[in-house]
Amino acid sequence: MARALIFSGLLLAVCIFAMVRGGKPERYAAWMYVAAFVASALSAQFGAELYHSINWGIFVIDLILAVSLGALALHANRYWTIWASSIQIVAILAHLAKMLVPEIAATAYQITLLVWSYAVIPLLVAATYRHRQRLHLYGADSAWSAQEASAET
């Protein structure tokens, strides 16, 4: 329980930091993470016994988050978005492994899902910090790829 509270607090603090100080890609990702966190918390209350079997609600939420982060990675002018979508793909692979081999221990399934969730925290902090650095050094920080930026003008 204490670890869940620590993770929740850290994730919320980092998402607020990204929403306030980040560029558009950082803000979009922060909102995606908050929405997925809230939806997962609600789904966990109504799903299967946690980690002993697949919680289909959490699987769908993870899948939507992976697709959303992948779309962000395709359009954003940021490398960190590729890491973010990759981390989420690992979660999808953990769910698929549990689907294919239900005998996988609940602890192994849990660790595979949760360890990668923690990786999001320093990633979003670093992304937001780098955005602030680029603003300070160059006065601007293009949020979207060159094709996206030319389409906006």
For 102-152, what is each residue's pLDDT tens digit?
Answer: 999 999 998 888 888 899 999 999 999 999 999 999 999 999 987 655 555
> pTM score, two decimals?
0.90
Residue that wins the pLDDT comparison between 1 and 105: 105
pLDDT digits (tens, 9 = 90+) for 61-86: 999 999 999 999 999 999 999 999 99
DSSP designation for 116? H
| pLDDT at residue 54 in the model | 87
- In sequence order, what are the residues at sequence separation of 6 or more whose Cβ sits closer than 8 angstroms to the Cβ of residue 29? 18, 69, 72, 81, 84, 124, 127
| pLDDT at residue 152 in the model | 55
Cα–Cα dist 1/11, whole Å:
15
- Amino acid identity, position 73: A
Contacts 24+ apart (CB under 8 A), 116-119: 116/87, 116/90, 116/91, 117/7, 117/91, 118/7, 119/87
Show me where the domains of the chain are located: 9-152
pLDDT digits (tens, 9 = 90+) for 87-100: 999 999 999 999 99
pLDDT digits (tens, 9 = 90+) for 34-66: 999 999 988 877 655 678 888 899 999 999 999
Q: List, in sequence order, every residue forming a beta bridge with 144; answer none if it has no partner.
A: 76
